[in-house]
Copies of this chain bind each other. A is one copy, B any other.
Amino acid sequence: MITAVAQDAVGAAVRRRPGRPRDEDIDGQIVAATLEIIDAGEEVTVSRVVARSGVSRAALYRRWPSLTTLIAAALDVGRMVPPEYPDDVDLRDALFDGLGLGESGVALSVAASGYAEERFRQRIRLVMSDRALQKAYWQSHVSRRRVPLLNALRAGVARGELRPDLDVDACFDAIAGTAYYQIVVRGDRMDDPAVAARLRAAVEVIWRGMVV
């Protein structure tokens, strides 16, 4: 079976002409260069991206009129919007699993490697010094990753499983916020077993407050 993604890849390969890089190649080079600059702890500037990526200044400006959206995209490399949940999903399980997925999701994705945790800390540092970047990153990336879990919770309200007056956004904020608090305030590492225990205890409390 050829999936839509595979078809896209085939189409791109067919369209490719020797001697002229594909648009996707150029975008990939630009984003990769941006990420290298971020990981090096340097400030992202047009000159640095041009120097590292080998892409011309004109091509960079044409594709990314704003450095802010480029940085937001680079910060999100490797993360994706999780799929929608099936109708019969166990919501309690979804909340616990959610700690390894999406944005509530700092937990396991960050625990996966020390490198990812450093990038996470760097991301917070960047958005704290630039509110426009923070808003761009929230709107185009983080808030989109929340949608599947929020939809599943709303369905739970409609089914009468969760309280009719439930503010599902606030519940998501509480769960994700508990995870952020571990890194941002306590300065703990997400692979610390004490952190995992606190997260599980908090989700247990929040879940009890959500059900009818």
Q: When the two chains form the complex, which single residue of B124, B167, B171 contacts A184, counting CB atoms closer than 8 Å?
A: B124
Residues of B near A177 (CB, < 8 A) are 174, 176-181, 185, 202
Q: Which of A5-13, A80-88, A129-137 contacts B (4 or more CB under 8 A)?
A: A129-137
Interface residue ranges of A101-136 to B (CB < 8 Å): 103, 121-122, 124-125, 127-129, 131, 134-135
Would you call A166 an interface residue if the criterion is a C-beta within 8 Å of the partner chain's C-beta atoms?
yes
Q: Tell me, in angstroms, the Cα distance from A138 to B178 when the chains sit together.
A: 16
Residues of B near A205 (CB, < 8 A) are 166-167, 170-171, 174, 206, 209-210
| Interface size, A (range) | 35 or more
From A167, A181, A208, residue with most partner B Cβ within 10 Å: A181
Q: When the two chains form the complex, which single residue of B125, B184, B206 contacts A209, counting CB atoms closer than 8 Å?
A: B206
Nearest Cβ on chain B to A36's Cβ, whole angstroms: 18
Would you call A23 an interface residue if the criterion is a C-beta within 8 Å of the partner chain's C-beta atoms?
no
Would you call A70 an interface residue if the criterion is a C-beta within 8 Å of the partner chain's C-beta atoms?
no
Q: CB distance A178 to B170 under 8 Å?
A: yes
Nearest Cβ on chain B to A142's Cβ, whole angstroms: 6
Q: When the two chains form the complex, which single residue of B122, B187, B202 contacts A131, counting CB atoms closer than 8 Å?
A: B187
